[in-house]
């Protein structure tokens, strides 16, 4: 039996068992999106984002914030696009390909280079970040996610959006649907 | 100029002078002798002849008288005729005597005799006429007493005087001849004395000249003999050294001869080995051609492999392109699943069940993405392997090409080797032949060297002999010098 056929069998058993077994007891886990910005690995909480969409470019706007790339349309809604790497202090993104959308009413888009995947780790795998892991005090990650033998800083999208609001005022986002 | 004359010339000149003097003496002697002889002949032919003819003339006169006397006694005329004949003969003799007489006195006395005889003949004729006329005997006798008898006596006296004169002149001629002979003797004696004196002088001068010249020559001979002795000594030494060198040369020639024979044998072996090498070279050439054909086949196979590998690389690229599509689809599926999960996170119970499905979809998308990455890795490895294989194959193809070129070069080299080995074989044979000829020549040289060595030894002996001869010549020159020029102390 070759290794590939063993893997196929394993995949088939896992897939079948997903239908056969009961849903697992809820374990307190944390869902993260693993990404890379400016050649550094980060993670963001899934609960703090509204989605991940491809970055198809942004229309530049005059702005005091140097991390702002411009305005991009996402599903017909214009959003302000910021460079995540520039915000966390690692410099401009090399070739942003994806954008993550912040959750909440004041939605912004944060562009990054590569999407490493979806992480679901136990909460006890989160550790507090040391002071040296943050480039800027404002966007300094305060937690680290242990992924195997490595530690991946967790960027708080909520904190980033809040800081932007404090700097620039409320974003001129799309009018609220309730309005 | 006389100093440069040779000894033979000087001696010849001296002998010529002596011969000339001897000829002078001989001439003088001959001249004197001839003169004496001529005078003697003159005496005999003139004076003695005159005396003898005078005596015969006197006898003829007396015969005529006797004939007349016969007539007187017989009165026969026959006696008259005989008288006439006798007188004719008498006159002929007188005339001949007149011719032979050379002096005036002689011719005068003969004229007197002739006149007396004519007178006497006239008396005889008259007496005869008286008798024929038969005159008185007394008359005839008187005539005879008066004329005939005195006339006869005068004639007789004249004859005596003539003979006396001729005898006197004969004595005078003898005296002159004796004087001339004495003069000639004196001349010959003087010339002889002069020749002796001249011979002594010539001997002294010639002796001194020859002694000087011989002395000079002897000194030169001494010097030359000394030089000759030195040269002979040097030549003997050089000949001994040459003899030793010839011996060494002969030894070296023998060694050279042995070496030449060894070279000839070696050349022969080289020729045999070269022939074997040529055969091996031809076999190698054929093997190389076979290997070249095999290499050409390998090259074709390698080219085919390269073509297939390049095609495989293209296929792998195509697979990679499809895989990119799959990866893109997996990534998009993953994004969609992530978004579905996000959307379902805050939904209702149905939303949570959807979240489970979305989560499974996301997991599948992750696995597809992982498998896609593995496939990409495998494809990359495959491409790298193909690339490496292509490169290696191309390298192999190039190596095969290079090998073929090398094979061709090696084949050409084998051909050259075969040709060169053939040339080497010919050269080795030529060397063998040349070396044998050289050995033959060396043997001839050896024989010649042996002859030269023998000649050198003989020359050495001759040099020694010449040295001895030079010493003897020097000694002889010294002795000859003593003989020619005695030492001053002697």
Instruction: Tell me whether A6 touches chain B (CB under 8 Å).
Output: no
What percent of the residues of chain B are helix, what percent strand, and what percent coil, each to the nearest 5?
A: 95, 0, 5
The nearest alpha carbon in chain B to A16 belongs to B360
pLDDT for position A172:
54
What percent of the residues of chain A are helix, what percent strand, and what percent coil, each to the nearest 5?
A: 25, 40, 40
DSSP A32-98: EEEEEETTEEEEEEGGGEEEEEE----B----S-TTEEEEEEETTEEEEEEEHHHHTTS-S-SS--E
pLDDT for position A134:
47
Domain ranges of chain A: 29-168
| d(C-alpha A55, C-alpha A38), whole Å | 15
DSSP B83-103: HHHHHHHHHHHHHHHHHH--S
pLDDT tens digits, chain B, 490 residues: what are they? 555 666 777 778 777 877 887 787 788 777 777 877 777 777 677 777 888 888 888 888 888 888 888 888 888 888 889 888 988 988 898 888 888 887 888 888 888 888 988 988 898 888 888 888 888 888 888 888 888 888 888 888 888 888 888 888 888 878 877 887 788 788 778 878 877 887 888 788 878 877 887 888 888 888 888 888 888 888 878 887 887 888 888 788 888 888 888 888 888 888 888 888 878 878 887 887 788 788 788 878 888 887 888 888 788 788 888 888 888 888 888 888 888 888 877 667 777 777 778 888 888 888 887 888 788 788 788 778 877 877 777 777 777 777 777 777 777 777 777 788 788 788 888 888 888 888 888 888 878 887 887 888 788 888 888 888 888 888 888 888 777 766 665 4
Q: Give percent of chain A with pLDDT exceeding 70.
A: 84
pLDDT for position B4:
67
Instruction: Tell me whether A129 touches chain B (CB under 8 Å).
Output: no
Kindly determine whether residue A31 and residue B345, on different chains, have CB atoms separated by under 8 Å: yes
Instruction: Tell me whether B343 touches chain A (CB under 8 Å).
Output: yes
Please tell me the distance in Å from B345's CA to the nearest CA on chain A: 8
Chain A residues with CB inside 8 Å of B331's CB?
A: 115
Kindly determine whether residue A31 and residue B343, on different chains, have CB atoms separated by under 8 Å: no
Kindly determine whether residue B343 and residue A51, on different chains, have CB atoms separated by under 8 Å: yes
Instruction: Tell me whether B338 touches chain A (CB under 8 Å).
Output: yes
Chain B residues with CB inside 8 Å of A51's CB?
A: 338-339, 342-343
Is B153:B145 a contact under the CB 8 Å cutoff? no
What contacts B365, CB < 8 A, 6 or more positions away? B330, B331, B333, B334, B336, B337
Chain B residues with CB inside 8 Å of A46's CB?
A: 338, 341-342, 345
Chain A residues with CB inside 8 Å of B334's CB?
A: 115, 117-118
Best of B329, B330, B342, B371 to substitute, by most chain A Cβ atoms within 10 angstroms, is: B342
Instruction: Tell me whether A126 touches chain B (CB under 8 Å).
Output: no
For the beta carbon of residue B247, count every other beta carbon within 10 angstroms: 14
**Cα dihedral B5, B8, B9, B13 in deg (nearest 10):** 130
Listed residue (B213, B201, B199) closest to B8, CA to CA: B213
pLDDT band at residue A176 under the 50/70/90 scheme: very low
User: What is this structure's pTM?
Assistant: 0.42
CATH topology assigned to domain A29-168 = OB fold (Dihydrolipoamide Acetyltransferase, E2P) (2.40.50)
Instruction: Tell me whether A77 touches chain B (CB under 8 Å).
Output: no
Burial class (CB in 10 A: 0-12, 13-18, 19+), B427: middle
Best of A118, A119, A120, A147 to substitute, by most chain B Cβ atoms within 10 angstroms, is: A118
Kindly determine whether residue B345 and residue A50, on different chains, have CB atoms separated by under 8 Å: no
Instruction: Tell me whether B342 touches chain A (CB under 8 Å).
Output: yes
């Amino acid at each position: 039996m070759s290794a590939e056929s063993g893997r196929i069998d394993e995949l088939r058993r896992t897939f079948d068992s997903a239908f056969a077994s009961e849903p697992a007891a809820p374990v307190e886990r944390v869902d993260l999106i693993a990404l890379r910005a400016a050649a550094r690995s980060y993670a963001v909480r899934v609960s703090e984002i509204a989605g991940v969409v491809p970055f198809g470019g942004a229309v530049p706007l005059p702005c005091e914030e140097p991390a702002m790339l411009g305005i991009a349309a996402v599903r017909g809604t214009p959003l302000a696009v910021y460079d995540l790497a520039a915000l966390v202090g690692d410099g401009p993104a090399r070739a942003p390909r994806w954008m993550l959308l912040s959750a909440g009413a004041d939605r912004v888009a944060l562009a990054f280079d590569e999407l490493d995947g979806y992480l679901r780790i136990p909460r006890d795998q989160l550790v507090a970040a040391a002071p040296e892991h943050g480039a800027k005090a404002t966007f300094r990650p305060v937690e680290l996610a242990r992924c195997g033998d490595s530690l991946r800083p967790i960027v708080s999208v909520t904190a980033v959006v809040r800081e932007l609001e404090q700097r620039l005022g409320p974003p001129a986002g799309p009018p609220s649907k309730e309005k | 100029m006389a100093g440069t004359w040779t000894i033979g010339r000087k001696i010849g000149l001296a002998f010529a002078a002596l011969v000339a003097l001897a000829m002078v003496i001989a001439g003088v002697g001959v001249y004197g002798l001839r003169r004496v002889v001529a005078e003697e002949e003159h005496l005999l032919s003139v004076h003695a002849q005159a005396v003898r003819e005078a005596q015969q003339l006197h006898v003829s006169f007396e015969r005529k008288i006797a004939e007349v006397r016969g007539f007187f006694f017989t009165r026969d005329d026959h006696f008259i005729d005989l008288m006439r004949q006798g007188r004719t003969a008498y006159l002929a003799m007188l005339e001949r005597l007149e011719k032979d007489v050379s002096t005036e006195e002689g011719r005068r006395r003969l004229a007197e005799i002739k006149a007396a005889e004519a007178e006497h003949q006239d008396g005889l004729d008259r007496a005869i006429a008286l008798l024929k006329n038969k005159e008185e005997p007394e008359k005839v006798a008187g005539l005879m007493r008066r004329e005939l008898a005195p006339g006869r006596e005068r004639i007789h006296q004249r004859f005596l005087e003539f003979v006396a004169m001729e005898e006197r002149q004969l004595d005078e001629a003898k005296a002159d001849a004796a004087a001339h002979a004495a003069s000639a003797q004196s001349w010959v004696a003087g010339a002889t004395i002069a020749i002796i004196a001249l011979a002594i002088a010539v001997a002294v001068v010639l002796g001194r000249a020859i002694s000087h010249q011989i002395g000079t020559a002897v000194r030169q001979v001494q010097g030359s003999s000394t030089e000759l002795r030195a040269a002979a000594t040097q030549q003997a030494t050089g000949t001994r050294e040459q003899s030793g060198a010839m011996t060494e040369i002969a030894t070296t020639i023998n060694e050279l001869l042995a070496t030449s024979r060894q070279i000839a044998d070696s050349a022969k072996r080289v020729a045999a080995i070269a022939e074997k090498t040529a055969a091996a070279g031809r076999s190698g050439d054929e093997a190389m051609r076979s290997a070249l054909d095999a290499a050409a086949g390998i090259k074709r196979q390698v080219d085919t492999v390269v073509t297939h590998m390049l095609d495989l690389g293209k296929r792998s690229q195509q697979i990679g392109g499809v895989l990119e599509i799959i990866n893109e689809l997996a990534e998009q599926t993953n994004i969609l699943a992530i978004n579905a999960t996000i959307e379902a996170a805050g939904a209702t119970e149905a939303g949570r069940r959807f979240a489970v499905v979305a989560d499974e979809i996301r997991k599948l998308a992750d696995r597809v993405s992982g498998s896609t990455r593995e496939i990409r890795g495998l494809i990359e490895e495959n491409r790298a392997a193909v690339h490496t294989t292509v490169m290696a194959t191309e390298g192999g193809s190039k190596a095969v090409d290079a090998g073929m070129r090398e094979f061709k070069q090696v084949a050409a080299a084998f051909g050259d080797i075969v040709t060169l080995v053939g040339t080497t074989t010919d050269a080795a044979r030529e060397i063998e032949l040349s070396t044998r000829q050289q050995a033959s020549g060396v043997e001839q040289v050896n024989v010649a060297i042996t002859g030269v060595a023998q000649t050198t030894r003989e020359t050495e002996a001759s040099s020694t002999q010449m040295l001895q001869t030079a010493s003897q010549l020097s000694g002889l020159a010294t002795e000859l010098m003593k003989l020619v020029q005695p030492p001053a102390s002697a």
